[in-house]
Structure 1
Amino acid sequence: MLQHQINDFSHAQRSSRYLAAKKAYDRYCANPQSTSAKAKFASQQGASEVGQITRGVNTQSSVPSEIAIRPKIAAPVELRNSSIPPTQVAPQPVNAFELMLSSLIPMGLWFGFALLLLAAFKAVLVFKAGSIGEWRVNSKLKELTKGTNLTLYENLLLYTDSGEFTEVDHLLVGPFGVFVIESKNYSGWIFGSEKQANWTQRTFSSKSQFMNPLRQNYKHCLAVKSFLGIKEGIESLVVFHDKATFKTEMPKNVIMLSAMNDYINGFTEPRFSKAQLDEFNVLLSMREEGTTAEDYKTHIQQVKARRAG
């Protein structure tokens, strides 16, 4: 042990620690005494001095030292056998607004899709209702033509003075007049007069306005006059379904479907000869046969453009 002390302090041979260790080594290790008592004394004395040297090292810790103390290297730890629990990732805070928005977006898309579907369904219903109304009027008019010299034309496209198409719902040609008929399949209460630009329909759940059908049919009458080349004998007639009720005085030339045939049969004064009727029917048949699907498509586009304008 003294030899190790000498080696540890050999770099400072003048220090008290080196000198004390060297002196104890020379005295008790290099020249040991023979008697057991002396050996015991020497070992006790050496141990005492070594203790003093050790205490001296502790008390003189402020003395500069050039001894480099190397840190101990920890033994590797086997992670797979470690009892230390794995590090847990802290949960990220949840943004309530983003969560709500992410749930509302699909709902909004479904709601928008439902609105589009409802609008399309409503448009189909309106179109279907109009078609049913026209079919009912046509059925009544066909009953009127049986066994007579009356001729019926349906959904006839004619040109106006502006060069656009206009569609005549029903055109009845006979010796007592050429009847230009506009059918309306409305229900509920109807409010309107001959001079009003728009009439009103009111039901239990809604209220809406539509163009004065007399003005609408006036445009049709002008197209028929121009096409046939006549100025007299044109009769404008607007027919409402019986499920509608007029809450104002019913204008002239506006009747209910149930009274239509009787109204037409009330015209008994001849206006056109058989030759004129034959000429009218040739012109109208040629126009009817010459109308194409593209013409109807163009007419629909023109109607949409006018409504948008």
Structure 2
Amino acid sequence: MIYIWIAVMIVLIIILKSPIVKGKIGERSVSYQLNKLDNEKYIILNNITIPTSSGKTSQIDHIVVSSYGIFVIETKNYRGWIVGDEKSEYWTQILYKRKEKLYNPLRQNYGHMLALKGLLSDYSELRFIPIVCFSFRADLKVKVSSEVIYTSRLVKTIKKYNQEAIPASDVKQIAATITGANITNKDIKKQHIKSIKDDISNKSNKISNDVCPKCSGSLVLRNGRFGQFKGCSNYPKCRFVYNSK
């Protein structure tokens, strides 16, 4: 019997370490916080997938629509130190002596915001507030001016935006437009995940072959303040840089 319990525990540990499961846990934690908001003032939309102008899709963890703005929330459930800045293409997760790269979530969330702007193009001068939300498992060491916060500070961060920017009459209509565009087909969502993985793989292959993933120029080794890095030979037209450290 003890061997069965050991086997079950091993399976549970594997499942809990899965990126998909960790992501779901992070999203549930954020949903719990968002439910503390006044539902008379804020409309909460979770796990929204909308089409983009490029023919792809954009999966957005959470959207909060209110008179104070449209909050676009990207959740991350990483452990360890998270190091990065506003403009870097990649941030670094430092866990003990191991370093892993993650795509800059500010850039990721900017893409979500652009998709929403395209969807809501009939509305003029909407205020979008992007927020990147990390769980308490992370130790944030980022240098940013944007809203990169812990989940526990989410409600307080949203409430600090208290100047009305969107007519109350438009709030429900905007939320309905987003909900109406939400793609619920599982096959399309699977294709969205596959597309992201393919893009990451293609970019990595180009970088490893010293090809710029942005403009297909050559990547050359350069020296900077923090050591060597790869930069596009078409600089300043293309400003792509890659630091393998």
Q: Deviations over 1:287-307 (max 9, x none)?
A: 23x531222122122122212
Give 1:279 deviation, angstroms: 1.6
Structure (1 or 2) with the greater strand fraction: 2
Q: Which one of 141, 144, 150 corresponds to residue 37 of structure 2?
A: 144
> Aligned letter for 1:143?
K
SS of the counterpart of 2:49?
strand
Residue matched to 1:224: 116
Q: Deviations over 1:229-253 (max 9, x none)?
A: 2443111110111221123435421
Distance 2:20 2:86 in 1: 26
> Aligned letter for 1:286?
G
Residue matched to 1:103: none
Conserved in 2, the CA contact under 8 Å of 1:145 and 1:152?
no
Please list every run of at least 4 consecutive aligned residues from structure 1 whose deviation after the TM superposition is greater than 3 angstroms: 121-124, 248-251
Equivalent residue runs for 1:143-222 within 5 Å? 143-146=36-39, 148-204=40-96, 206-222=98-114
Residue matched to 1:267: 161
Q: Deviations over 1:116-153 (max 9, x none)?
A: x99xx47962211111001100110111144x221111
Give 1:282 deviation, angstroms: 2.0
Distance 2:34 2:73 in 1: 10
> Aligned letter for 2:150?
M
Across the aligned residues of Structure 1 and Structure 2, the Cα RMSD in angstroms comes to: 2.2
Q: Which one of 23, 45, 62 corresponds to residue 130 of structure 1?
A: 23
Residue matched to 2:211: none
Distance 2:20 2:97 in 1: 20
Residue matched to 2:185: 292
Residue matched to 1:307: 200
Higher relative contact order (CA 8 A, sep 6+): 2
> Aligned letter for 2:67?
P
Q: Deviations over 1:40-92 (max 9, x none)?
A: xxxxxxxxxxxxxxxxxxxxxxxxxxxxxxxxxxxxxxxxxxxxxxxxxxxxx
Structure 1 unaligned residues grouped into runs of 5+ = 1-116
Residue matched to 1:78: none
Distance 1:142 1:224 in 2: 22
Structure 2 unaligned residues grouped into runs of 5+ = 1-9, 203-245
SS of the counterpart of 2:163?
coil
Distance 1:201 1:222 in 2: 26
Distance 1:285 1:247 in 2: 35
Structure (1 or 2) with the greater helix fraction: 1
Distance 1:297 1:199 in 2: 26
My pick for the range that moved more, 230-239 or 218-227, is 230-239
2:160 is the counterpart of 1:280: no
Greater Cα radius of gyration, structure 1 or 2: 1
2:94 is the counterpart of 1:238: no
Distance 1:186 1:285 in 2: 29
The TM-score normalised by the length of structure 1 is 0.57
Check 1:296–1:306 CA distance in 2 against 1; reply closer, same or farther (3 A cut): same
SS of the counterpart of 1:272?
coil
Distance 1:185 1:221 in 2: 21
Give 1:264 deviation, angstroms: 0.4
Distance 2:184 2:37 in 1: 26
The TM-score normalised by the length of structure 2 is 0.71
2:152 is the counterpart of 1:258: yes
Count of matched residue pairs: 190
Equivalent residue runs for 1:30-69 within 5 Å? none
Check 1:280–1:208 CA distance in 2 against 1; reply closer, same or farther (3 A cut): same
SS of the counterpart of 1:179?
strand
